[in-house]
């Protein structure tokens, strides 16, 4: 049986606990569960437990943290460890999102430490990679994605619970998105790098960047696109339900 298509909602710095509960009440009335699909929610850390509680009795759903710090505990004000996230109900974590890299200055080395902490702690790691507009226009997309993957995944075991999300930075929240063919081409590059690193060819690769109800089907129709990572369009229950009905 094929691995499920993943529809992942990154709520970023939106949705306090009460808002998250209201959203899910509305979404669950609209959603049509079906085989071959996993819907993942990545709320802000203060809302992880609320989302996990609302989804506890429902199948096909996964809750994750938007970021993880690699230390297990200690004097790290504002940070969230694997154990804290797991205790709140998270089963996964986003790592290396472009906003962590480009807004908060996260380095490739830090991303690698986070990936290892997440995998060692028993959570799914959803590693984000992607190029800026400047890098794309300079013809460096493959080089950037290869560098990010190699830095984060060298030494990761073949059986690791890993998903990769390709998110071109120039397409996030801009209304622009890579064409389905563009996305598929980069996904092929990612698979080549994963193979070079000894990771399985079936590793799931998502596309993220201005995904909407109107373009999601075209993206998912491309070979090698195993799901989507969605920001703004996942903040409305009707929009998100429409996206999750695609594919």
Q: What is the pLDDT of residue 34?
A: 87
The whole-chain average pLDDT of the chain stands at 94
Q: What is the pLDDT of residue 108?
A: 97
Is 14 designated active site? Answer: no
CA distance 54 to 61: 10
Tell me which residue has tokens 């903040």: 235
pLDDT in tens, 186-200: 999 999 999 999 999
Pick the catalytic residue from 54, 97, 99, 110.
97
Q: Per-residue pLDDT averaged across 199-223, rounded?
A: 94
Q: Which CATH superfamily is domain 5-244 in?
A: Aldolase class I (3.20.20.70)
Pick the catalytic residue from 106, 131, 167, 187.
167
> Which has the minimum average pLDDT: 39-43, 149-153, 210-214?
210-214
Q: What is the pLDDT of residue 1?
A: 45
Is 97 designated active site? Answer: yes
Q: What is the pLDDT of residue 59?
A: 81
What percentage of the chain has pLDDT greater than the value 90? 87
Supply the pTM of this predicted model.
0.96
pLDDT in tens, 148-177: 999 999 999 999 999 999 999 887 767 676
- DSSP letters for 165-178: EE--GGGTTSS---
Q: What is the pLDDT of residue 2?
A: 64
């Amino acid at each position: 049986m094929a691995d499920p298509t993943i529809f992942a909602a990154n709520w970023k710095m939106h949705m306090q606990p009460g808002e998250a509960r209201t959203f899910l009440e509305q979404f669950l009335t609209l959603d049509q569960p079906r085989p071959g699909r996993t819907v993942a929610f990545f709320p802000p850390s203060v809302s992880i437990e609320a989302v996990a509680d609302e989804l506890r009795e429902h199948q096909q759903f996964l809750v994750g943290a938007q970021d993880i710090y690699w230390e297990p505990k200690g004097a790290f004000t504002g940070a969230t460890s694997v154990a804290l996230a797991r205790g709140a109900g998270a089963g996964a974590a986003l790592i290396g999102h472009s906003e962590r890299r480009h807004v908060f200055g996260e380095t490739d080395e830090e991303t690698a430490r986070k990936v290892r902490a997440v995998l060692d702690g028993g959570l799914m790691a959803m590693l984000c990679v992607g190029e800026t507009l400047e890098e794309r226009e300079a013809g460096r997309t493959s080089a950037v994605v290869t560098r990010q993957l190699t830095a984060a995944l060298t030494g990761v075991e073949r059986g690791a619970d890993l998903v990769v999300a390709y998110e071109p930075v120039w397409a996030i929240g801009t209304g622009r998105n890579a064409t389905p063919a563009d996305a598929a081409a980069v996904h092929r590059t990612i698979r080549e790098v994963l193979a070079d690193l000894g990771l399985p060819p079936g590793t799931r690769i998502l596309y993220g960047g201005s995904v909407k109800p109107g373009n999601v089907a075209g993206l998912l129709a491309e070979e090698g696109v195993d799901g989507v990572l969605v920001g703004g369009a996942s903040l409305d229950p009707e929009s998100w339900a429409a996206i999750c009905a695609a594919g």
